[in-house]
Amino acid sequence: MKKILVIHGPNLHLLGQREPGVYGTVTLAAINAHLKKLAAKNKISLAIMQSNIEGKIVDAIGKAGNKFAGILINPAAYTHTSVAIRDALAAVNLPAVEVHLSNTHTREEFRHTSLISPVVKGTIMGFGPHSYYLGLEALIELIS
């Protein structure tokens, strides 16, 4: 069975209570449960992690090479700052899809740049939790 690594970046463990006007009220646990359902329907298994620590995300990407068929990532605030996560994704030879709950282009200017977008297959943003679900579908299509 093919495996996908799902990575949630900093502060996403607070979904549900964090700035609900921006991120909605769905919890990370609910998003993960729905992702698992979608994956199971496609006979794909998921490993899901959330970390507030850049180095832990870099380590997980670096080790993903021979274990996973692809990576679904919401790098959260690291989207806009992390050369290390970008370099890890570029180094590991796996298709990756970047997702964001909010449309970062309609928000503060510092969110308009993603250091991650140039090293992923594609980016889906602005659809709340559905960004994750659409991103997973796109990634499954890519690895099938």
Q: Using CB under 6 A, which of the segments 25-33, 87-95, 96-104, 115-123 binds ligand DQA?
A: 96-104
Answer yes or no whether residue 50 interacts with ligand DQA by CB under 6 A: no
Catalytic status, residue 23: yes
Minimum distance between the CB of residue 111 and ligand DQA, rounded to whole angstroms?
Answer: 4
State the number of binding residues for ligand DQA (CB under 6 A).
10
Q: Edge-to-edge strand order for the sheet containing 122-125?
A: 44-50, 2-8, 70-74, 96-100, 122-125
| Catalytic site residue from 8, 34, 78, 100 | 100
CB under 8 Å to 87, separation ≥6 — which residues? none
Minimum distance between the CB of residue 74 and ligand DQA, rounded to whole angstroms?
Answer: 5
Instruction: Mark 80-107 as b/e (b = at least 16 C-beta within 10 Å).
Output: bebeebbebbeebebbbbbbbbbebeee
Q: Considering beta carbons, is residue 8 or 39 the nearer one to ligand DQA?
A: 8
Inter-residue contact 144 to 70 (CB < 8 Å): no
Site for ligand DQA in 72-91 (CB under 6 A): 74, 76-77, 79
Q: Considering beta carbons, is residue 86 or 100 the nearer one to ligand DQA?
A: 100
Per-residue contact string for residues 4-33; x = within reach of ligand DQA by CB under 6 A: -------x----------------------
Contacting positions for ligand DQA (CB under 6 A): 11, 74, 76-77, 79, 100-102, 104, 111
